[in-house]
Structure 1
Amino acid sequence: MGTVTTSDGVEIFYKDWGSGQPIVFSHGWPLSADDWDNQMMFFLSKGYRVIAHDRRGHGRSTQTGSGHDMDHYADDLAAVVEHLDLHDAIHIGHSTGGGEVVHYLARHGTGRAAKAALLCAVPPLMVRTDANPDGLPKEVFDDLQGQLAKNRSEFYRALPEGPFYGYNRPGATPSEAVIANWWRQGMMGGAKAHYDGIVAFSQTDFTEDLKQITIPVLVVHSEDDQIVPYVASGPKSAALLPNGVLKTYKDLPHGMPTTHADVVNADLLEFIQS
């Protein structure tokens, strides 16, 4: 574990375990590097070097009041990659982390990267516009900000108890430990970072970024994702990527890296080794 200080003075916390080809994980909103525990342990056991950082304002990184946008997220990821002098890296991003990966690769180039994987990720664009009629209305994201500002603790229980892990589906068996771990990670971060982050993940248009990325990219999404709708994301991202491959699940939740880690890890390993 260590930290790197960005050009604007923010300390970014990261974990760096093992040796071999590096796999760099970018977490979802409003979580932390801890959300990748299962994947990090799995790929560590397969001989990879695994790295995950806490996004600015999240987890153990500085709770700065500014810079909560995709440009800064991408630059912070670049700071970690350059600080550790990573080459031939595989970037894996979940949800907002998928947007971070896409923007990083487009903004900083793919010279240090070999492949990437986007899991239930926010690109190309989440919010509904005239050009993106399949997106969600802006009012949905305004409501998320309102709930966060009113009572973040209650809000951060309701999301994992319900749609994030699909625990609101008939026959689902909620895990109190998984729900509590989501809440723990969320409450470690800063309310301002998370509030601004909703705008960053919902209103950033990654269309042109996706077109620029020529390395192989695996796009993984579920048709039953209740957080990032499948119709506006996975298939569209895969179509925009010059070297993208789409893997579709039918009924897995948005939080599939946790609830179905065995399935996700196996598909990621197959892609990485192909």
Structure 2
Amino acid sequence: MPYLTLRDGAELFYKDWGNPDGAIVTFSHGWPLSSDNWESQMMYLGDHGYRVIAHDRRGHGRSSQTWNGNNMDNFVDDLEELFAHLKVKDAVMVGHSHGGGEVTRYLGKHGTGRFKKAVLIGAVPPLMLKTDINTKGTEKSVFDSFREAIMKDRAQFFLDVPSGPFFGFNRPGAQKSEGQIRNWWRQGMNTSCKSAYDSIKDFSETDFTEDLKKIDIPVLVLHGDDDQVVPIEASGLKSAELLPQGKLKIYKGGSHAIHNINVDEVNKDLLDFIKS
């Protein structure tokens, strides 16, 4: 399995699939998951001739479980090292949830030189936390309850999240998938407890407003209007307005995990946007 040794000695696991000579699409996963969460999209685009690259964020999946450095600026510096190693250029960058924040901060900090387009799916920007200015955000007490649940019984918490709000399986008439729940739990439990804990502050309190304003390439924003984890009013709608070349598509009734639930539609939207 391919690993890149980073500047501090940590090892970053990555997948490099598809056509080695094809146009590149990169994927950044959500919390507390891994590159495995992108399998449907990577298989689909790989079959359409693209080179698809995804990593396990440090502390997640098969990457090193570092004690320190579980923060957005460090995460995107890891990405820049990976992209330089793999000679990524003229690519499309895709991110979900926390990974959408990673995409946004990467482009804001390292620029758009390697990328021609980006896609944010159920992404956390511009800011999840409720403040005096960000009145539609989520109360800090909610994120405090996440931290408390991790310390009390992480294994149960990581069953409760996918069984309910993440996939929308708590909605009346939802087609519940035990496989999706177990796969989420597997990925979550492979993430270090320390990184999972630290990342709650990272995805909830990082303000991406200025990063969004800097992004000078087309960005497609895909968001479900029934996203119970990252409500669209505080995220997708605002991001589309702040992006200089933002385009928003709302998935009616869509959950936080539209790329896992509305697979065919998301895959088609990605392909159409990449080819346009």
Distance 1:123 1:145 in 2: 21
1:27 matched to 2:53? The reply is no
The 5 A counterparts of 1:188-267 are 188-267=190-269
Structure 2 counterpart SS, 1:151: helix
The Cα of 1:75 is off from its aligned counterpart by 0.8
How far the C-alpha of 1:102 sits from its partner, in A, is 0.5
SS at structure 1 position matched to 2:74? helix
Kindly provide the amino acid, as one letter, of the partner of residue 213 in structure 2. K
- Aligned partners of 2:133 and 2:12: how far apart in 1? 35
- Structure 1 residue 77, shift from structure 2 partner: 1.2
- SS at 2:118's partner residue? strand
Structure 2: runs of 5+ lacking an equivalent: none
Cα-to-partner distance string for 1:86-123 (whole Å, 9 max, x where unaligned): 11111000000000000001111111111000000000
- Runs of 4 or more, structure 1, over 4 Å off, are none
Alpha-carbon distance between aligned partners in 2 of 1:255 and 1:165, rounded to the nearest angstrom? 5
- SS for the counterpart of 1:92 is strand
After the TM superposition, which residues 92-107 of structure 1 pair with which residues of structure 2 at under 5 Å, given as runs?
Answer: 92-107=94-109
- Percent identity, aligned pairs only, is 57
Q: Say yes or no: does 1:76 pair with 2:59.
A: no
Instruction: Tell me, in whole angstroms, the C-alpha distance in 2 between the residues paired with 1:44 and 1:268.
Output: 12
1:11 is matched with: 11
How far apart are residue 230 of structure 1 and its match?
A: 0.5
Within a 5 Å distance, the mapping from 1:118-129 to structure 2 comes to 118-129=120-131
Deviation at 1:56, TM superposition (A): 0.5
- Distance across 2 between alignment mates of 1:235 and 1:253: 15
Encode CA deviations 1:181-203: one digit per residue, 9 max, x unaligned.
00000011100000000000000
| Structure-1 separation of matches of 2:81 and 2:147 | 29
Indicate which of 71, 89, 92 corresponds to 1:90.
Answer: 92
Deviation at 1:238, TM superposition (A): 0.7
1:13-162 → structure 2 map (5 Å cutoff): 13-18=13-18, 19=20, 20-162=22-164
C-alpha distance after superposition, 1:43-65 (max 9, x if no partner): 00110000000000000000111
SS in 1 for 2:186: helix
Give the Cα–Cα distance (whole angstroms) in 2 for the partners of residues 199 and 145 of structure 1. 9
Q: Deviations over 1:201-234 (max 9, x none)?
A: 0000000000000011001111100000110000
Task: Write the deviation string for residues 65-84 of structure 1: whole angstroms up to 9, x where unpaired.
Answer: 11111101111111111110
In the alignment, is residue 175 of structure 1 matched against residue 164 of structure 2?
no
Aligned partner of residue 29 in structure 1, secondary structure:
coil
Unaligned runs of 5+ in 1: none
Q: TM-score scaled to structure 1, two decimals?
A: 0.99
**How much does 1:5 deviate?**
1.6
Distance 2:73 2:166 in 1: 26
* Residues in 2 aligned to 1:118 and 1:67: alpha-carbon distance in whole angstroms: 24
Shift in Å, 1:131: 1.1
Instruction: Give, in whole Å, the separation in 2 of the partners of 1:99 and 1:5.
Output: 23
Alpha-carbon RMSD: 0.7
